[in-house]
Chain A
Amino acid sequence: MNEAAQLLFDYLKDAWNQPDRARLDADALPEDFRELGEGLICFVEGVLEVRAFAKALSRGDLSAAPPGRQNELAAPLKALQASLRHMTWQSQQVAKGDYRQRLEFMGEFAEAFNTMTGQLSDRQAALESQIERIRAQSAALEQSNRVFQALTEGMVNWIAVVDSNTGERLFANRAARDGLEGKIGADVWNWLVRQARTGAEPRARELIASDGASVVTFSVTSHMLPWNERTAVAYMLSDVSDERKYLRELESRAYLDPLTQLNSRYYGMRTLSAWLGERRRFTLCFVDLDNLKYVNDTFGHAEGDRFLVAAADAIRQLSPDGVCVRLGGDEFMVLVPYADAEEVARDMEALRARLAAPRALEPAPYLRSISYGVVEVGEDNALPSSELLGLADERMYEYKRAQKKARKAQLK
């Protein structure tokens, strides 16, 4: 081998085995070999440049500067670098949630990557669909809540929700908020909390609260309900004070005689039937005012009414446990429990005498007198109320006739 060929071969061998030491001085070559030497240097440098670039890529350095454009040997590696850098970008996009990223190169890896992003995309679509469903439900709930709030805020009834464990106020509509801040608020709230804590089954109740000056009656309905993983009771309080007052007035009209404030006929007859049904022992006393027509005609109806009221007040004293009834006109009935007829007749005589006593402040000159008839009713009584009343009425007339006869005898 000649000297030039040896230099070229040694250079090639060094470039292969120990590239750091590979040196070739092209100018030292004979002129015929100089261009070959320069080409070989260019080739070796190109190979070494590609080797360094490949090494950087193998270390994962995707930002390594690639060989220049004149180095065509590096073209496949540069294309690989571009692909890897793009894959990095795509992975970053996937990490940000863009699951539409697809790889069109890298063979099996691309297939796996695309499967992964496809699955992520499907999962996201399912999640988005679920989110959309929940959002729609949430919107519907919100709408319902707005309707609920508008309705509850406009209601005059109090609506309050109480945590049945802690007694915490979970919700109150405007009426309840205002009411609970008022004078009776504390009492009402304490009552609600006590009720909630008992854990009793919901039912309708009535609550009477008073601030000392006035009394408020509430009709209360309650419902157990879950409240954000708590157990709560929802209360609705309706102020029924006016209704109760009206009812009491109606009851009063039905049960009381407006002039004498004794029980009404309706109430009296109902009580008589009830006592008979219960097989009570009592005495029925039928009372009639004497000469009421004469008093009305002679001294006027106002005086007649005073006579009625005076008689009623007297009759009321007959028995603290008795039921005194104005049957109508000048007729009264008294039901005296656990008393025998004689005892009642004795008391009636005393009462009759007190009523007939002279009246210093009432100038009307007439005798206030009553007649009565008593019937003792035993536990074994078989007569109906009408017959018992009829019997007492008969005895009252007998008494009245007897009294008249006696007075006539006295006048003679």
Chain B
Amino acid sequence: MPNILENPRRHSHFRWDGLGDIREGRGDLGEDMPVLVYRLMQFTMLDVLSREFGEAEADRLFRKSGHLAGTEFARNALNLQLDFDGFVAQLQRALAELKIGILRMERFDQGTGEIMLTVEQDLDCSGLPITDENVCTYDEGFIAGVLEAFAGRPYDVREVDCWASGDRVCRFSGRLSDA
């Protein structure tokens, strides 16, 4: 006999409120956790997806996940009614407070919408061993999602460079993909 009382919601279908009440649920341990745990999940998942679907497909899926996260984050945690400069200042504060990274703007062209920014002490990659590859595909999607939620137009963001010197600073270039 089917359980008609079962909650039809599935965590495989993301909703912002599906993140739950973390403060209540982790009354003793609190809302924070070490970056190590985040990266453990991220890179084991990358490992499995790459093995299952190949690296390119794994990167695409990571970028797509980041885009969903960025869009939801912007819609639920940011004020989208500000002007661009106010929005950037707000985003900088939010990323620093949530310890995602230190966002630094380098350039924004109001005419074309092209943007160049760096993320220092990045949650995903700062301190990783150097390899000749882009590892911040999730960040690419995240930033694109945030910009798209603000601008109302699709953004394509790519990591232009990723380099290390103890701290790792990643530079991202974004442009409107429907232009």
- Which A residues lie at the B interface, using CB under 8 A? 66, 68-70, 72, 74-76, 78-79, 82-83, 85-86, 88-90, 93, 96, 98, 100, 104
Contacts and interface: CB of A to CB of B under 8 A. Distances in A.
B159 to A, nearest CB: 10
B163 A86 contact: no
For chain B, what secondary structure do more than half of its interface residues adopt (helix, strand, loop), or is it mixed?
strand
Interface of B: 85, 89, 102, 104-108, 116, 118, 120, 130, 132, 161-165, 167, 169, 171
Contacts of B108: 89
A314 to B, nearest CB: 100
Given A78-B163, A93-B85, A69 B132 contact: yes
B164 A75 contact: yes
A328 B157 CA distance: 116
Contacts, number: 54
Contacts of A96: 85
A76 B168 CA distance: 10
A76 B166 CA distance: 9
A86 B161 contact: no
A82 B164 contact: no
Given A66-B161, A69-B162, A82-B169, 12 more contacts: A68-B161, A72-B164, A72-B165, A75-B164, A82-B118, A82-B120, A83-B104, A89-B107, A89-B108, A93-B85, A93-B89, A100-B89
Contacts of A74: 163
Nearest to A86: B104
A82 B108 CA distance: 14
A83 B120 CA distance: 10
Contact of B89 (A79, A98, A104): A98
B102 A89 contact: no
Contacts of B171: 82
Contacts of B118: 82, 85-86
Given A69-B132, A82-B118, A104-B102, A75 B163 contact: yes
Contacts of B163: 69, 72, 74-75, 78-79
Contacts of B165: 72, 75-76, 79
Interface-centre pick from B85, B102, B130, B132 (highest chain A CB count, 10 A): B85
Contacts of A98: 85, 89
B51 to A, nearest CB: 25
Nearest to A76: B165
Nearest to B133: A69
A86 B89 contact: no
Contacts of A79: 163, 165, 167, 169
B104 A89 contact: yes
A88 B165 CA distance: 22
Contact of B107 (A75, A76, A85, A104): A85
Nearest to A101: B89
Contacts of A100: 89
A69 B159 CA distance: 11
Contacts of A82: 104, 106, 118, 120, 169, 171
Given A72-B130, A89-B106, A89-B107, A78 B89 contact: no
Contacts of A88: 106
A247 B116 CA distance: 89
Contacts of A85: 104, 106-107, 116, 118
Interface-centre pick from B104, B116, B164 (highest chain A CB count, 10 A): B104
Contacts of A76: 165
